[in-house]
């Protein structure tokens, strides 16, 4: 298998090498996931339903932050969003995920007495518009209705501001407060003002968070800090919007400085034996503010709050425009050359130009290829941006996907086998068996290594694990393995009759081309009997020999 390209999407994880899914597993296996409450208690339960929106966030974790510390603690109830970004109730309202053990992972319920207000937070998962990992965190403050239910909650950048915002903030945030309760990206409730404000706020949060979390190693580490700096960023936007409705360069600079000071003060107020001072240079501050000023202009042009032609910006066109903006933000996070970013911004500003012709309606875009386009070239090459041909994931039950890979530059090689089973109660999801082999020295010895001294799994061997898969669409899957770590598997079409796949984890992606494809699992074959590391090793050896 030949490696085609590699793109990083979050600077804090640029050292991660996804030469295979196994490389990601090796990192993930050394981590711990949050505790989840026992589902067996007979106490009264209150269901909370809703949707997470930046684009729609599939496979994201939604939890009730009972103590409002910005961290998911043991005992705080949680759920996973479905392939459309919804939890507890499906998008069409016909499926209550709490009614079946088979769907309970999508069910969010509170036990016992419900407080007057509850803060919901969501993190992780994938933006179904781009298929890329969601960066940061969103939140919403919700209250039970008269009957005790908490239905149809919108967790968005707008609701994130209002977690700490009062009436003055609300009045300056949005002209009609009822928009906070609407799915502003849907066809029936689409609203350009809400889409503009929401997308702008979170893109600012992403750019700022990239700076703060690189300079201050405290978020998710120190118990007195939230998991994400997004919490502080939205708090400071709430404070600034209480006094002004203009999200301009002055407000943006004030938010940046206030968050920076909040980080310093929070650490020094809680740490008796140590202290920190400002870690961000003047040049780094200027660079972040310059990037955000560019995004401010781009969002206001591509996703105008009050378009001169209301029909020009609607639920059908918004996805393509959001992808155009996301492409530029990703290049900024990747620290691409400033001249290339300026050229990309110019292309993204031309909403009737060739960039958006290549994106189309946004449903068949290879986002990784789009980010890698050289916009500084005399003739911009959009070849490969639109996915055509290749493997589709429309019918995965009883299928297996085998891939081999090698990277001479990094001196790694390996293989992966994924077996898919479909859930009898739901479409687009099911269980999987994962078998991976990975060698960093180019000379795989065929032996599986047990846990290392640090508790992590060695990868110079074959590793077997079971998990779950969820389809975002017919080309993108979320693979959940090792008790809660998510990867995306994407079919990116074909190049010279070779199928193209990519794997993403923690904001990074690597893409390969291969002759291999989906195949039927033989009922009495070796794959069907694969249940251990040793079975995994034997199956990979047989497959490799069959292809040699």
Q: Could you tell me the CATH number of the domain that includes residue 77?
A: 2.60.40
Are residues 441 and 542 both part of a single domain? Answer: yes
Say if residue 277 is exposed, middle or buried (CB neighbours under 10 Å; 0-12, 13-18, 19+): exposed
Among 130, 155, 180, the domain boundary falls at 155
The Cα-based distances of 548 to 386, 404, 542 in angstroms read 32, 11, 10
User: Does residue 49 contact residue 150 with C-beta atoms inside 8 Å?
Assistant: yes
Domain closes at, from 155, 170, 190: 155
Does one domain contain both 21 and 101? no
Q: How many CB atoms neighbour CB 359 within 10 A? A: 24
List the one residue out of 503, 537, 539 whose CA is nearest residue 405: 503
Q: How do beta strands 150-155 and 412-420 pair?
A: unpaired
Q: Which of 504, 507, 11 is nearest to 210 (CA)?
A: 11
Structural domain ending residue among the three candidates 155, 171, 190: 155
Q: Answer yes or no: is 275 within a domain.
A: no
SS3 414: strand
pLDDT digits (tens, 9 = 90+) for 3-50: 344 433 333 333 333 333 443 343 333 333 444 444 444 567 899 999
pLDDT at 141: 96
Token pair listed for 548: 């040699």
**Whole-number Å distance between alpha carbons of 447 and 505:** 25
Q: Are 207 and 288 in contact (CB under 8 A)?
A: yes
pLDDT value, residue 233 = 98
pLDDT of residue 482: 64
Q: For 451-466, give the DSSP string.
A: B-TTSPBP-BEEEEEE
Q: Are residue 407 and residue 540 in the same domain, yes or no?
A: yes
Please indicate, yes or no, if residue 188 is contained in any of the structural domains: no
Q: Give buried/exposed letters for 134-146 (b at 16+ CB in 10 A, else e).
A: bbbbbbbbbebee
Q: 482 is in which domain, residue-wise?
A: 2-30+390-547
Print the SS3 string covering 185-231: CCCCCCCHHHHHHHHHHHHHHHHHHHHHHHHCCCCCCCCCCCCCCHH
- 25 & 64 share domain: no
User: How confident is the model at residue 508, as a pLDDT?
Assistant: 61
Q: Which two tokens stand for residue 189?
A: 């409730």
> Are 417 and 514 members of one domain?
yes
Spatial separation of the C-alpha atoms in residues 139 and 127, rounded to whole Å: 16
Helix, strand or coil, per DSSP, at residue 269: helix
pLDDT at 96: 94
Q: Are residues 51 and 23 in the same domain?
A: no
Whole-prediction pTM: 0.83
Q: How many domains does the chain have?
A: 2
Domain shared by 17 and 116, yes or no: no
pLDDT value at residue 483: 63
For position 288, what pLDDT does the model report? 97
CB 400 within 8 Å of CB 365? no
Tell me: do 436 and 537 sit in the same domain.
Answer: yes
User: Are both 48 and 26 inside the same structural domain?
Assistant: no
Residue holding tokens 């039950």?
397
**φ and ψ at residue 487, rounded to 5 degrees:** -130, 155
**Which portions of the chain are predicted below pLDDT 70?**
1-43, 146, 407-412, 425, 438-461, 482-485, 505-510, 523-528, 545-548
**Alpha-carbon gap, residue 240 to 261, rounded angstroms:** 15
Question: Could you give the angle at the alpha carbon of 452 between the alpha carbons of 451 and 453, nearest 5°?
Answer: 125
Do 151 and 13 lie in one domain? The reply is no
Q: Can you read off the two tokens belonging to residue 260?
A: 């920076």
Residue 264 domain-assigned (yes or no): no
In a domain, 178, yes or no: no
Answer whether residue 184 is part of any domain. Answer: no
Indicate if 134 and 10 belong to the same structural domain.
no
Q: What is the pLDDT of residue 384?
A: 79
Same domain, 8 and 131: no
Helix spans in 246-317 (H): 249-270, 282-302
Residue 92 lies in a domain: yes
Q: What pLDDT score was predicted for residue 86?
A: 96
Residue 199 placed within a domain: no
In a domain, residue 222? The reply is no
Six-digit token pair at 4?
């085609």
For residue 304, how many C-alpha atoms fall within 13 Å in the half-sphere facing its CB? Answer: 11
């Amino acid at each position: 298998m030949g490696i085609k390209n590699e793109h990083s999407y979050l600077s804090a994880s640029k050292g991660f090498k996804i030469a295979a899914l196994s490389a990601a597993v090796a990192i993930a296996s050394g981590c711990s996931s949050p505790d989840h409450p026992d589902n067996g208690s007979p106490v009264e339960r209150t269901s909370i339903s809703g949707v997470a929106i930046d684009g729609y966030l599939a496979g994201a974790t939604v939890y009730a932050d009972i103590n409002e510390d910005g961290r998911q603690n043991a005992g705080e109830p949680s759920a996973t969003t479905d392939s459309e970004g919804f939890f507890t109730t499906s998008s069409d309202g016909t499926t209550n995920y709490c009614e079946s053990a088979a769907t309970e992972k999508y069910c969010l319920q509170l036990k016992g007495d419900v407080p007057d207000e509850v803060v919901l937070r969501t993190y992780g998962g994938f933006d179904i518009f781009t298929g890329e990992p969601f960066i940061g965190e969103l939140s919403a403050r919700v209250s039970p209705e008269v009957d005790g239910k908490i239905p149809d909650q919108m967790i968005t950048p707008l609701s994130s501001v209002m977690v700490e915002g009062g009436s003055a903030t609300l009045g300056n945030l949005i002209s009609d407060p009822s928009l906070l309760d609407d799915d502003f990206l849907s066809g029936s409730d689409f609203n350009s003002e809400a889409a503009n404000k929401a997308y702008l706020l979170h893109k600012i949060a992403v750019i700022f968070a990239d700076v703060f979390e690189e300079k201050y190693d405290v978020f998710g580490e120190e118990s007195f800090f939230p998991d994400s700096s997004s919490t502080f960023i939205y708090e400071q936007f709430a404070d600034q919007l209480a006094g002004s409705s203009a999200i301009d360069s002055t407000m943006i600079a004030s938010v940046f400085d206030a968050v920076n000071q909040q980080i310093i003060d929070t650490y020094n107020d809680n740490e008796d034996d140590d202290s920190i001072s400002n870690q961000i240079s003047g040049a780094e501050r200027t660079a972040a503010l310059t990037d955000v000023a560019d995004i401010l202009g781009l969002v206001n042009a591509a996703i105008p709050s009050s378009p001169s032609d209301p029909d020009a910006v609607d639920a059908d066109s918004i996805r393509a425009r959001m992808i155009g903006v996301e492409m530029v933000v990703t290049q900024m996070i990747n620290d691409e050359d400033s001249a290339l970013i300026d050229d990309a911004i110019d292309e993204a500003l031309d909403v009737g130009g060739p960039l958006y012709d290549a994106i189309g309606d946004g449903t068949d875009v290879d986002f990784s290829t789009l980010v890698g386009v050289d916009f500084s070239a005399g003739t911009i090459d959009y070849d490969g941006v639109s996915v055509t041909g290749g493997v589709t994931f429309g019918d995965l039950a009883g299928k297996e996907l085998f891939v081999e890979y090698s990277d001479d530059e990094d001196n790694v090689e390996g293989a992966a086998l994924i077996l898919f089973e479909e859930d009898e109660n739901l479409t687009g999801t099911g269980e999987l068996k994962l078998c991976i082999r990975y060698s960093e020295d180019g000379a795989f010895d065929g032996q599986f290594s047990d846990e290392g001294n640090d508790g992590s799994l060695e990868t110079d061997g074959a590793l077997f694990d079971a998990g779950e898969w969820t389809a975002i669409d017919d080309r993108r899957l979320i693979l959940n393995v090792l008790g809660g770590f998510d990867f995306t598997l994407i079919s990116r079409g074909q190049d010279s009759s070779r199928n193209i796949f990519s794997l993403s984890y923690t904001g990074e992606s690597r893409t390969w081309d291969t002759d291999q494809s989906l195949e039927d699992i033989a009922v009495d074959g070796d794959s069907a009997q694969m249940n251990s590391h040793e079975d995994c090793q034997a199956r990979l050896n047989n497959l490799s020999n069959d292809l040699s």
